[in-house]
């Protein structure tokens, strides 16, 4: 299964800060979103869901989640992972990164364990020859 050249992929990021209330989690997600927008990504947005029939509101933002549109090249993916890993360490929370149908959870793994898992994950989702 080859990747088409220069076709962006959508990475879903889900945040889980155990001790954070909804307001703190919302602030943290907004901060990470602004940091992601400084990277070489195509777009960062909130996933939405349609409100149940008969209720007010059309699309509702999904709390604690972001969608990142990014080219599947290693430097771009690595920058996103590094940012998320830093957030997980600072917040003592968990962040899940899903690309296609595969996810990786960044949390309390040791640096060596996390480095190896991240390297394998990024290798599977980046285009070869685009360092």
Q: Is it the case that residue 128 has pLDDT exceeding 80?
A: no
Instruction: List pLDDT tens digits, range 38-88.
Output: 999 999 999 876 555 655 544 445 678 999 999 988 899 999 998 998 888
Distance in angstroms (rounded) separating the CA atoms of residues 22 and 40: 29
Instruction: List pLDDT tens digits, range 28-51.
Output: 889 999 999 999 999 999 987 655
H-type helices in the chain, by residue range? 22-37, 74-91, 111-125
| DSSP symbol at 102 | E
Structural contact between residues 70 and 80, judged by C-beta atoms closer than 8 angstroms: yes
Residue-range domain boundaries for the chain: 9-125
Distance in angstroms (rounded) separating the CA atoms of residues 19 and 28: 12
SS3 43: strand
For residues 106-110, average pLDDT: 71
Task: Read off the pTM.
Answer: 0.76
Q: Is it the case that residue 127 has pLDDT exceeding 90?
A: no
Burial class (CB in 10 A: 0-12, 13-18, 19+), 97: buried
CATH of domain 9-125: 3.30.70
Among the listed residues 57, 69, 55, 131, the one whose alpha carbon sits nearest the alpha carbon of residue 99: 69
Distance in angstroms (rounded) separating the CA atoms of residues 17 and 37: 21
Q: Is it the case that residue 99 has pLDDT exceeding 60?
A: yes
Q: Which residues pair with 14 in a beta bridge?
A: 65, 96
């Amino acid at each position: 299964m080859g990747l088409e050249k220069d076709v962006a992929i959508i990475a879903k990021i889900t945040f889980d800060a155990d001790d954070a209330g909804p307001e703190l989690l919302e602030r943290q997600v907004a901060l990470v979103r602004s940091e992601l927008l400084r990277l070489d990504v195509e777009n960062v947005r909130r996933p939405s869901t349609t409100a149940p029939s008969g209720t007010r509101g059309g699309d509702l933002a999904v709390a604690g989640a972001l969608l990142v549109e990014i080219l599947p090249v290693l430097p771009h993916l690595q920058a996103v992972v590094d940012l998320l890993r830093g957030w997980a360490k600072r917040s003592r929370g968990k962040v899940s990164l899903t690309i296609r149908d595969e996810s990786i959870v960044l949390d309390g793994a040791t640096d060596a364990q996390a480095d190896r898992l991240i390297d394998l994950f990024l290798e599977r989702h980046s285009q070869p020859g685009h360092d």
